[in-house]
Structure 1
Amino acid sequence: MVLAWVRGAAAALVALAGLSGVARAAPAMWEVSDGDSRIYLFGSMHVLSPDVRWRTPAFDRAYARADKLWFETRVDADPVAVKALVDRYGVDLDRSLTEKLPPRTVASLRAALDSRGASLDRVDRLRPWAAAMMLSMLPMTQAGGSVEDGADAAVTRQAVRAEKPVLAFESFEQQLRLFADLPEMVEVQYLDDVAAEQNAPPRRGVDLQQAWLKGDVDRLGAILVEGMRQDRPQLYEALLRRRNLAWADVLDREMAGSGVELVTVGALHMAGPDGLPALMKARGYRVRRVQ
């Protein structure tokens, strides 16, 4: 069964879509406050096409006011170190990918790669989660999208130039281990879902892209987050719920001080009862939607 949330599941760490330019974009943003502290929560897209216009006056004001900026991880990490970590956690030299997959998934994966001009040999030494990630990225990168043009990278570059403090909830290694520590059965399910989605006729991709640009978190949550929670609970727990809870704990400690901070993380981390806005509200803070 093809799952509607597959592209969104990939987006939790890497991307949700490579978008075409749309004017007057207004992705969702919240303000969390108490007596002397304020934290803005912005749901981003990690991979974008260079012509996407997502910044708004409200976001720029939040950025200007922020004394400190938070991201999922540092997107400006050393590429050599990143490749070494991907090789460590995403490559298996002992067992090939096709040895781990049922014949149906091998056929589905081969068809998805063929449709993108890639071969099975290209991924046969990757672990299932790494192959799923690469496959989910192909349509975006082939359409001109890149991490460098994503919201996280753009804001990081701006903050570094302005010498604003840039902090990360997780290291890149921690992010990779989220996948590497999954049971192999869950990895295979993830790859099977991504391959099946790649082979299916386009359905709601454009709607999801527009939902993000319009700040329609309820739609994103209903289609993507809730689907993952119901159909792939272990993936949901590892990629969203557990991380959101850890990040909310960090923000709780930040709220004990004073000042203004801006959090820029994937949009799916904002949706549903386990999203950051809901978690911060449950901790007793005033939470209001500002965009």
Structure 2
Amino acid sequence: MVSAWVRGVRRLLAVMTAVVGLSGVAHAAPAMWEVSDGDSRIYLFGSMHVLSPDLRWRTPAFDRAYAQAGKLWFETRVDADPVAVKALVDRYGVDASRSLTEKLPPRTVASLRAALDQRGASLDRVDHLRPWAAAMMLSVLPMTEAGGSVASGADAAVTRQAVKAEKPILSFESFEQQLRLFADLPEAVEVQYLDDVAAEQVSPPRWGVDLQKAWLKGDVDRLGAILVEGMRRDRPELYEALLKRRNLAWAEVLDREMAGSGVELVTVGALHMAGPDGLPALMKARGYRVRRVQ
């Protein structure tokens, strides 16, 4: 059970309530920016971590950026040791002292039970998890049912290519740091997160298909308006913890990288590119030239 959830966590951490079911689209041009000064360039690519294996998302522009890059940056290593990952999941995502249902209001229990019933699962399957962990596990189920996988995601594909080519790979965060982003949330915020995910599973939002198309077309404004602005408005603590503070920290790292010279490629979740707190806006605010190249 926990091992299955580990796989789900690794699919979802930077995507939140991610986009699923991306097969059947022949061509794609997800968003990418170039950040530059006199002697440095950093390409910012907004990725999708879970993709259908037959989705063709790579473009000549992306391949050129990859070929030129002397360093590759990711949110975290997607090829981390599974044994170490499981130990961290057990540490931060499981609560042996209180059951999940003890922490939830009746409405959330009912939504969660209904969402699990739709997929032939019982509440017992998640009752040992913390609310944020149960939300993560529940979120990944539609992805796996639609045939998506982290192995087909942009991060994993580029990582495999870089490992084979012996290109330097760097991470903004460790996997433990990513888990702690959720584990350190107040319990009330965790419960809100689970309540949102369970409600969407029972009554899927009508904008799901639009999100898929928005990423493939590079429509960051659409993604931002639906997901980023919604989170900022309705779940400000989640927004601060999962997007804004992380983006600010990553921009500081990239600011230091720009002091050197050369070309680097950053591949992180597409939501980290959207809005006034997205990486393109933050780097522009630091005085760099930022232009959309895809």
> How does the TM-score come out when normalised to structure 2?
0.94
Please, which runs of 5 or more residues in structure 1 have no aligned partner? 1-8
Q: Is the 8 A contact 2:20 2:146 kept in 1?
A: no
- The one of 72, 78, 81 equivalent to 1:78 is 81
Provide the residue aligned with 2:102 in structure 1: 99
Which deviations, in whole Å up to 9, do the C-alpha atoms of 1:58-117 show, x marking residues without a partner?
A: 000000000000000000000111111001000000000000001110010000011122
Whether 1:66 aligns to 2:86 is no
Describe the SS at the equivalent of 2:250. Answer: helix
Q: Partners in 2 of 1:96 and 1:286 — Cα distance?
A: 51
- The one of 275, 286, 291 equivalent to 2:289 is 286
Provide the residue aligned with 1:213 in structure 2: 216
Whether 1:266 aligns to 2:253 is no
Which deviations, in whole Å up to 9, do the C-alpha atoms of 1:156-198 show, x marking residues without a partner?
A: 0000000000000000000000000000000000000000011
Matched letter for residue 51 of structure 1: D
Q: Partners in 1 of 2:225 and 2:148 — Cα distance?
A: 25
Q: Partners in 1 of 2:216 and 2:204 — Cα distance?
A: 23
Q: Is the 8 A contact 2:13 2:178 kept in 1?
A: no
| Count of matched residue pairs | 283
Provide the residue aligned with 1:184 in structure 2: 187
Question: How far is 1:10 from its partner?
Answer: 6.4
Question: How far is 1:118 from its partner?
Answer: 1.5
Describe the SS at the equivalent of 1:148. Answer: helix
Provide the residue aligned with 2:3 in structure 1: none
Provide the residue aligned with 2:114 in structure 1: 111
Provide the residue aligned with 1:166 in structure 2: 169
- The one of 246, 249, 273 equivalent to 2:249 is 246
- The one of 33, 46, 49 equivalent to 2:49 is 46
Matched letter for residue 267 of structure 1: A
Q: Is the 8 A contact 2:52 2:149 kept in 1?
A: yes
Q: Partners in 1 of 2:145 and 2:293 — Cα distance?
A: 34
Question: How far is 1:23 from its partner?
Answer: 1.6
Question: How far is 1:24 from its partner?
Answer: 1.8
Which deviations, in whole Å up to 9, do the C-alpha atoms of 1:23-56 show, x marking residues without a partner?
A: 2200000000000000000000001110111000
Q: Partners in 1 of 2:197 and 2:248 — Cα distance?
A: 26
Distance 1:235 1:202, change over 3 A: closer
Matched letter for residue 220 of structure 1: L
Describe the SS at the equivalent of 1:185. Answer: helix
Describe the SS at the equivalent of 2:151. Answer: coil
Which deviations, in whole Å up to 9, do the C-alpha atoms of 1:104-163 show, x marking residues without a partner?
A: 100100000111222111100000000000101000011111111100000000000000
Q: Is the 8 A contact 1:241 1:274 kept in 2?
A: yes
Q: Is the 8 A contact 1:12 1:239 kept in 2?
A: no
Q: Percent identity?
A: 89
Matched letter for residue 43 of structure 1: G
Q: Partners in 1 of 2:174 and 2:206 — Cα distance?
A: 34
Matched letter for residue 120 of structure 1: L
Please, which runs of 5 or more residues in structure 2 have no aligned partner? 1-11
Matched letter for residue 271 of structure 1: A
